[in-house]
Structure formats: structure tokens, C-alpha cells
Amino acid sequence: MNNQQYKWIKPFRNISIGDVPLVGGKNASLGEMFRELHSEGILVPDGFAVTAAAYRHFFEETGLDKKIREILHDLNTHDMENLRQRGEAARNAILKEEIPDDIKKEIVQAYHELSGPVTHGIDVAVRSSATAEDLPDASFAGQQETYLNVRGERALLEACRRCFASIFTDRAISYRHDKGFEHFKVALSIGIQRMVRSDLASSGVMFSIDTETGFRDAVLINAAYGLGENVVQGAVNPDEYIVFKPTLQQGFKPILQKKVGSKEFKMVYDEGGGKMVKNIPVSPEDRASYALNDDDILTLAKWACVIEKHYSQKKGSFCPMDMEWAKDGRTGELFIVQARPETVQSRRDSSRLEVYRLEESGKVLVTGRSVGEKIAVGPVRVVKSAANLSLVQKGDILVTDRTDPDWEPAMKRAAAIVTNRGGRTCHAAIVSRELGLPAIVGTLNGTEILKDGEVVTVSCAGGDTGKVYSGALKFSKEIHDFSGGQRPRTKIMLNVANPEEAFRLSQLPNDGVGLARMEFIINSYIRIHPLALYHFHELTDPTLKETIEKMTPGYSNKAMFFVDHLAYGVGMIAAAFYPNDVIVRMSDFKTNEYANLIGGAAYEPVEENPMIGFRGASRYYHERYRDGFALECQAMKKVRDEMGLRNVKLMVPFCRTVEEGKRVIAEMAKHGLKQGEHGLEIYVMCEIPSNVILAEQFAAIFDGFSIGSNDLTQLVLGVDRDSEIVAPIFDERNPAVTGMIASVIRTARAKGRKIGICGQAPSDYPEFAELLVKEGIDSISLNPDVVLKTTTHILDVEKNLTTR
């Protein structure tokens, strides 16, 4: 395509990011990637732009400037009816006019050159691209229209005219007005691009940053079958994948999370049906399967890293990206079809952390994917169609099936948004983040369960799962400022259980994770006893087998369900705090807790006192659990060797004897977890008096200790910590306990072994913290809610000890 012969057209290969004033942000970005990133293996479908100069020429030739200025002279964007009338009149004025012949001629000529030997023309996507688009403080994405599967001259010219008219959609008018853009200083370019046959495969959206927390080292990918508009619009609940950038770039395969979405239907070509595209149902088998395989997930994540690096270099600072991708079902090739700067998390002040916390519990009405990490209370306003948007009052909880850009004026009045459909990259999620609102998307049945006028609490403060509670629950909000914070000599680490909170918690000042608990992951995300999965084909209870089948779709080898999901959970935590140490404790359920897992009762003995029974190290090499421990080891090997998260250290709980420790270390080695290999360190929990008394011998086989002050206090004082009657005797400050702790710290230091503590006592008792620091403990691991307070206290303790 020869650019010299065109006045109103510019081919992608002649466009760069500096051409935003001429072709808008969307087209400038497509041209930039088409030209600059092909050598990096990134594929962008070819195309051309109808320039903003053509748009201005169209308006000048037809007198549209004057007509639309008159239409908008008394515009009131806060009056929904006024906005609707003015927008409709402006669009109709444009649609009544013919595009000038000189522009038409060039569009048709460029289209046929793009089509090559295809006589009647190829199918193309026709997308609008505003010249003020995707500025650092505003994203015009979704404000104008897109037309897919456009074929032939006549259809193409009509789509172009409708694109020009879409610069005056109600939402675009409202958005420009609220952002302070003068309507006639923003022009429209049109991108005309080869269609990728993702109607035969899959497509979606990805971000090179975590959209909720701003965690920089993750790529978030949403995927569904068919054309990508359903994901962008939030019309389906897509799959979600998270990939860790640092070890991906080292050659590992760090897929941290894979969540299957319901993907109810897909958008495909409407062959001969009179429309350009249509939605059709997805089969139950495909809905239960992932829309992308692992190789495609990793390829897209690598591309996201390349694109982010390219734009960051252009900008001269970190520039996370929001991208749309598509897979061609005929060739199997992946393509990037859009890329723009991310405009919410990239502008957030990373030295400040806003923390919302529910202060009471209540009845959960619906759940979905959380957006925004905030909490809001208000009356429900169920809106079934755009015609009823005027009913939304300031402070309402807007509940609907899904939103689209036409809903934005009403969304600004809401306190929170709840939708039946959509994922974390859909329209409702993106706009809610930009407006600073909590949102819960993909609830499936929110509009059925939530009743108009009832007061509810919308909480997105508990991780990936957002919850709508009945009634107005009390909540708190804290703002933490980390700027200029001094760090103590003693390492301050965190106790982390919930992988969904890991990215957010990693933003607290910390030196890693001193205790990552497997039990929460098994209980919350797996829920099935590992041996019931390992011996699935030997199960005789048909009801149990059916339950497990429903919970493990896509897994013929049920044991791998346990391995994968445990690895995903631990991987999320390890990635969040990378490259700092993350000490993962192997499972420490008691027998009664294991028995409560699905299928667990058949594999667990009934014990009078599970607290000191068949738990911890004793299980790992015993024939009654050895196969289950093998699955735990496989999961940890996957985290370290496949994901590349070698900051993971492993810890053995409740190890009664040195001989038992040796047997566990040998059992781990059998499953590929060899102490010392690739830097693997194995620690032991110091929670039994024998661990202290024989500390020198334990130090000879383990790389470090972590003091479990609760169990140690229980066993030193002979107190059941769960008994209300003797509870007053339980005190970590008892001299017998503090003497034990001081002793083991000294021994560990003498033997050159690391030693830390994971427990509440350093937070609760200043004198306890002082003892630990005075004895020279390496690290103190704390619950996240007390880390800031205790860090300040530890700094004071260290200062006082230095000045004595």
C-alpha cells in the first residue's frame, strides 16, 4: 500500500505512536506495534487508518460543525433525558450526511489493496480511534463504536459513517464533558483492520499489571470463545489466568492461577443471517474447559512483557498496558488487536495503602469477582435495561445483568456496582476502578437474589471473591503511608494464608513470608481429602465419586487437581513476595480436620486428642498418609521448578524426633525436593520441647527453625489452649516458655542456623518482642493487621538496646 497516493488514509506500516493527533491513540498504537514489534514475534493484523483530517473535512464540507454546536448549546450531562435527546440528535445529523466522495474513494481503494486477490474484499473490523484517546488521566476506550465482520465496499462505508457518528454517543459526550475535553477539539479516526477468525477459536483481554492491587509483576489474561466483544462488554464470565513476569522472562512457566469461567455463549459470524455477528450457546463440555492451553497463555504473557517494555521505553517510565488479543481458529495463530496504556493502577500512589475492613459479619446474599478492594453500603437499585437508568440515585447499589458504555452517566451516581456477568477486565470492572467504586462482577444471579430497595453491604476487601451482605454492616477504613519508613535490623515477615490477598499484602513493608499455611488453600480451594483424589478409581461410594467429578472438571487424573490447585495457591503467595523468602509449612491439619474434608472420614483415625496425635511430620512417611504427602511434594516441586519460584523454603511441622526429621527429609527427596538442590532449604517448626532440648541435633539436619509459640507454650505448660477452664494459665511470657525460646535462639545462632518466630505474642507483649530482639532472633513473622504497629515497636526496642 503506497502511502504517497493517499490524502485521507494512512497504512499501519506508516503509523507510529507519535501520530496520535492524526490517527488517534488506538490506531497509533496498532501502527507502532505493527512496525516495531513484528521482529519480536508479535503479530498484529494489517490495516489502515482513516485520519482525523478526513473527519474534520467531512464536518466542514457538510456544515456538521455548526449543526452540532447548535444541538449541544444547552447540553446538561446530569439530566439523563437532556443527554439522550442531544446525543440522538447529533448522531442523526451525521448519519443524514454522505461522506465526501474523495474520502470514500480512498477508503475503497485502500480496502481493496488490503484485500489483495480476494475479489469482493476481505472481512474487516472497523474501530473508532479518538485523537485524545488514552491520555494518562483519561481512557476513551469503549466510548465510540466497533463493527466486526464487515465485508464489501458498501458495508464498509456505512460502518465508517456510523463510526463517525459514534463520537457523539451519550456516553462519549458525558465522558468528554466530565473530563474537561472540548467536544470539537476531539476528532475521530477510524481503524480498518483484517479480522482474526477468533469466532472459530477464542479471544479476550489482558493487562500487564494486576488490575486490583497494582502488583506490577503479574499478567492478567481473560479468555472466552468467539469474538472478543463479549469479554470487553462483560457479556460472559471469562476464564482468568495469571502469569508471573520475572520468572517467565527467566524461561520458566509460571502460570500462577487458572480459573475456568462459565463462558455461556460466544460471538460468531452471522453467515447469511442478515447481521454481521451473532451470539450462540457454548456446549457444556467447552464451558467446563479452558479457552486457552498453557502454551498460548505463556505466549500471550510474554507478548505482554514485550509490549509493556516497549511502551515504557518510549515513555521513559513504567507503562503497564491494557491489550486485546485474538486467536485465529483457522491457523492457530495469536494476534494483538489493540493495546493502550492502563490508566488506573499506573497512577496510584504506591507509598499509600487504603485498607477497608469489615468489623462484623452477616448473611451473604451473592458472591462474584471483586473489583476495587473497597466496601460500600446502600440501597439496592435493580436496573434491567438502559431505559431505567434515570432511577439510579446517588449512593445506590446498582445491580444489573451487565453494563456497557451507555451506562456510565448512571454508574457515576452509584456507591457500588453488582453484575450477573463479566470478568475483571469487562466494562463494569474497568469503569468502576476508574470511578473508585467497589464492584462485584459475574455473580450469575445478582438481579434475582437482590431486591429493589433493600440495604446491603458490598465488600471487595477480602480478596478475589466479592460478597454482598444483607443489611448495613460496620466497616473501617485506614490509610497507611509508607513513605520514608525506616526498617529494623530484625526481619519483619508476614503470616499469609489466603492467596487472594497476597498481592495486596505484599505492598506492606515486609521482608517476606515467615509462615504460609497450606491448610487454608486445601480447605478453601481443594476441599477434597488428597487420598480420596489419589485413590479416586478405588472409591465405592457413588455419591462421593459424583461429587468429586463435579468439583474436578477437566481432570481425568484426580490427584493432579490437588497438585495443581495447591501449586497455584502457594505460587500466588510466593510470587507476591518474590524474591524475598516465603516459608511454606507442609500440611498441619489434625486428624479431625482432615476427616472434615470431602472423602476424608474413610482415611482418618478417630483420636481422643488430635492436637498431639497423628499430625505433622509423623504423617508424611507413614503408610496411612504417605501418598497424600507425595502430592504435597509434587505441588511444591511444581512451584519451585516449573514456576521458578525458588524463594520458597519448606518447613516441617510437629517433628517430634531427630530420626523423624531425617525420614521426612528422605521422603521429600524421593519426590524431587532435595535439600540444597537449587537452593532448597528445609526448616523445622520449633514447637515441641524436644526441638529445644535437642536443638543442636535438629540444627544438624535442618536449615533453620521457626518458633511456633502457641504449641510450644501449650506443651511446655501442659495447657490445652482450646480449654476455657485453664485458658488463664496459657501465657507465652511464662519464664518456662521464654527460657525455652531464649535457649533455642542461642543454639541456632551458635550453629549458624536461621531462626524466626511466627505468632501473635511479639505484637501483644512489648516485653516478649524485646526478649526476641535481645537474643538476636533473625525474623519475626506477624499477622498483616499488626505489622506496621509492631515494626515501629521493634525499631524502638532495637534503638533502646543500642543506646544501653
Q: What angle do helix axes 766-775 and 787-803 make, rounded to 10 degrees?
A: 60
Would you call 686 a catalytic residue per the annotation?
no
Find out whether the peptide bond into 579 is cis, omega within 30 degrees of 0: yes
**Which one is catalytic: 163, 177, 319, 427?**
427
What is the phi/psi pair of residue 545, to 5°?
-60, -40
Would you call 758 a catalytic residue per the annotation?
yes
**Which one is catalytic: 177, 305, 758, 793?**
758
Helix (H) or strand (E) holding 148: strand 146-151
DSSP-derived secondary structure letter, 415? S
Q: In sequence order, what DSSP letters do the residues of 730-791 get, joined into one string?
A: --TTSHHHHHHHHHHHHHHHHTT-EEEEESSHHHH-HHHHHHHHHHT-SEEEE-GGGHHHHH
Gap between the Cα atoms of 461 and 376, Å rounded: 10
Residues 6+ apart with CB under 8 A from 649: 581, 582, 583, 584, 680, 681, 682, 683, 703, 704
Gap between the Cα atoms of 612 and 619, Å rounded: 12
The residue to which cell 470487553 is assigned:
232
DSSP-derived secondary structure letter, 9? E
Gap between the Cα atoms of 98 and 675, Å rounded: 75
Residues 6+ apart with CB under 8 A from 790: 492, 762, 763, 769, 780, 782
Residues 6+ apart with CB under 8 A from 623: none
Q: Do the bridges between strand 704-707 and strand 682-686 make them parallel or antiparallel, or are there none, so unpaired?
A: parallel
Helix (H) or strand (E) holding 319: none
Residues 6+ apart with CB under 8 A from 106: 6, 7, 8, 9, 50
- Degrees (nearest 5) of the Cα angle 509, 569, 641? 95
Gap between the Cα atoms of 762 and 732, Å rounded: 10
Written as nine digits, the cell of 688 is 515441641
Gap between the Cα atoms of 482 and 250, Å rounded: 31
Rounded to 10 degrees, the C-alpha dihedral 552/630/520/499 comes to -80
Gap between the Cα atoms of 193 and 306, Å rounded: 22
**DSSP H stretches of helix in 234-382:** 245-248, 284-287, 294-315
Neighbours of 18 (CB within 10 A): 11
Catalytic positions, please? 427, 758
